Homo-oligomer: A and B are copies of this chain.
Amino acid sequence: MNAAMLRTPLVAAVAVASFAMSGLASAQGTDIEQRLADLEARVAAAEARADAAEARAASVEDTVDASEARLDEVARQASGEEGFSFNAYARSGLLIGEDGKSTSGSPYITPAGGLGGAVGRLGNEPDTYAEAVLNYRQTYDNGAKAHYRTMIADGVSTSNDWTADESKLNVRQVYAELSDLPSFTGAFENASIWAGKRFDRDNFDIHWLDSDFIFLAGTGGGVYDVQLADSWKANFSLYGRSFTDFDVVSDVDPNANDTDSFIYTVNNYFGNVQWMINGLSAADNDTRDLGNGAVAADSGVHTMLAYHGDSFFGLGEGNFKAALLHGQGLGAEVKGLGSDGDLTEDASATRLAVYGTTYLAPRWRIAPSVFAETSKDRYDAGDEYTWAGLNVRLANELTENFEMQYEASYQHMDLDQGPAGNVAEGSYSRYTVAPTFKPQVGGFWQRPEIRLFASYSDWDDDLNDYSADDAFGEEGFTGSEWSFGVQTEVWF
């Protein structure tokens, strides 16, 4: 309040009134002041608090970001993308005949089986076969990646748990593969290289016959995914395999009963088309005594033209694969490249393999396949082997966890071992029904499966006693066979 304003009584009175008024205003002002000051302080505090909260949130955010980055790393380790991971294939179960004992079975059970002529496997497997794959993956500071893999595998036909006497446990793969190498550029930019003992990465199979289209495996080295042109990728490799302890024609050199089969592979991809070319050589394998006067091959050629279809033969959703294979000399074992040293130098073989998968109806899957081969001068001059088969696997998904599977398999074979050997012609057929449990139905490749099954198989009498190496014609196994069983099949 300003003292200079109190000049006249009136003014004074006014002033008094004013004063009173201003006192009033002032009292009110002081209160407001206070409240304002309080508010200002509170706002400052609230600002600080908001800032602190913000800072805290930001700090947590940073922690979370760091934690996320760490979690990424840990997740990579936990999932096996980095470090250790485990894969497996296994089947195990019982295959029981009408007499209440284990009975013979195998996709390779027919006389054509020894030539690679597989039939349907559903309800036709008496063994416990398991592969355990141990992987270790590393990513380096420079971005390069290394993948180490080792696989142990075993296959026995006994049902006992302790199988030390029958054990076939062995190491099937030991290799390292390097990719994303910074100093690989140009055509090699996406290439990976490998060395060691392995199954080739690009092997593929007709699952229902337990047969690969091509099975390239052994010890060696190679390079994958060389980009030769925009639509042309190729793999190059050298695989070695061992031929040992064979008899030789003239036994002058007692050490010469072993050699190596080397497979030189160029595997080309043009979109869906694959063209694989293989050269084979096995020094001195021609000194091998085949026991029938024929000369064993010491070299060979092999080629496969394949198509990897994205539909069911263009007729519907699904997939199909088709391949035509031809080999000569050591290449006449057209699937297991370089694995057969008993082939003659004139051996030739041509094989067709086709399969497809599709849904016939919402809960009905079907997977038919055709598998056929003709070969001649295979193990002796003048022999001739022809076999052809058709297999159909059908599945009806009844609940989330259960489906009925059916398989019909037919194979005709016309086998002539040549001048000194046996002859047989006839056909084999097998029908299987398999109630099957699985965690989640819905696809051709979903495993594990736990299946019960009943199979009926029959064959022409002519096929019995053709070979001492197969079960056909053995005591109590001469045709019209029922078999039953339970089995699991797993892969991941």
Chain B residue with the shortest CB-CB distance to A139: B439
Q: Are A49 and B60 in contact, with the CB atoms below 8 A?
A: no
Give 11 A-B contacts (CB < 8 Å), ordered by A residue.
A17-B17, A22-B25, A39-B39, A75-B78, A94-B219, A148-B490, A161-B198, A167-B169, A176-B488, A195-B487, A221-B486
Q: Which of B78, B198, B439, B488 contacts A78 (CB 8 A)?
A: B78
Q: Are A93 and B22 in contact, with the CB atoms below 8 A?
A: no
A49-B47, A159-B219 are contacts. A171–B182 as well, Cβ < 8 Å? no
User: Contact flags (1/0) for A233-265 with B, using CB distance below 8 Å?
Assistant: 000001111101000000001111011101000
User: Contact flags (1/0) for A110-131 with B, using CB distance below 8 Å?
Assistant: 0000000000000000001010
Q: Is A140 an interface residue (CB 8 A)?
A: yes
Q: Are B169 and A262 in contact, with the CB atoms below 8 A?
A: no
Q: Is A3 an interface residue (CB 8 A)?
A: no
Chain B residue with the shortest CB-CB distance to A65: B63
Q: Is A480 an interface residue (CB 8 A)?
A: no
Q: Is A178 an interface residue (CB 8 A)?
A: yes
Chain B residues with CB under 8 A of A83: 78-80, 86
Q: Are A92 and B450 in contact, with the CB atoms below 8 A?
A: no
Chain B residues with CB under 8 A of A10: 10, 13
Residue from the set A13, A194, A450 with the largest chain B CB neighbour count within 10 Å: A450
The stretch from A150-158, A348-356, A408-416 touching chain B is A150-158
Q: Are A159 and B61 in contact, with the CB atoms below 8 A?
A: no
Chain B residues with CB under 8 A of A32: 29, 32-33, 36
Residue from the set A16, A148, A160, A182 with the largest chain B CB neighbour count within 10 Å: A160
Chain B residues with CB under 8 A of A360: none
Chain B residue with the shortest CB-CB distance to A5: B20
Q: Are A283 and B101 in contact, with the CB atoms below 8 A?
A: yes
Q: Are A67 and B67 in contact, with the CB atoms below 8 A?
A: yes
Q: Are A170 and B171 in contact, with the CB atoms below 8 A?
A: no
9 smallest beta-carbon distances between A and B, as pairs: A14-B17, A221-B486, A53-B53, A92-B196, A49-B50, A183-B399, A144-B439, A164-B168, A53-B54
Q: Are A486 and B401 in contact, with the CB atoms below 8 A?
A: no
Q: Are B130 and A154 in contact, with the CB atoms below 8 A?
A: no
Q: Is A228 an interface residue (CB 8 A)?
A: no
A82 to B488, CA, bound (A): 20
Is the interface on chain A under 10, 10 to 19, 20 to 34, or 35 or more residues? 35 or more
Copies of this protein, total: 3
Q: Are A194 and B488 in contact, with the CB atoms below 8 A?
A: yes
Q: Is A28 an interface residue (CB 8 A)?
A: yes
Q: Is A313 an interface residue (CB 8 A)?
A: no
Chain B residue with the shortest CB-CB distance to A450: B195
Q: Which of B20, B70, B90 contacts A148 (CB 8 A)?
A: B90
Q: Are A174 and B92 in contact, with the CB atoms below 8 A?
A: yes
A42-B47, A96-B260, A169-B170 are contacts. A184–B218 as well, Cβ < 8 Å? no
A247 CB, nearest partner CB in chain B, Å: 17
Q: Are B184 and A401 in contact, with the CB atoms below 8 A?
A: yes
Chain B residues with CB under 8 A of A166: 170
Chain B residues with CB under 8 A of A167: 168-171
A22-B24, A159-B260 are contacts. A170–B164 as well, Cβ < 8 Å? yes
A215 CB, nearest partner CB in chain B, Å: 9
A78 CB, nearest partner CB in chain B, Å: 4
A21 to B132, CA, bound (A): 97
A24 to B175, CA, bound (A): 93
Chain B residues with CB under 8 A of A50: 46, 49-50, 52-53
A40 to B42, CA, bound (A): 9
Q: Is A426 an interface residue (CB 8 A)?
A: no
Q: Which of B86, B90, B155 contacts A196 (CB 8 A)?
A: B90
Known: A2-B20, A18-B20, A93-B220. 10 other contacts (CB 8 A): A29-B32, A54-B56, A60-B60, A77-B79, A84-B84, A84-B86, A96-B260, A99-B284, A132-B150, A159-B241
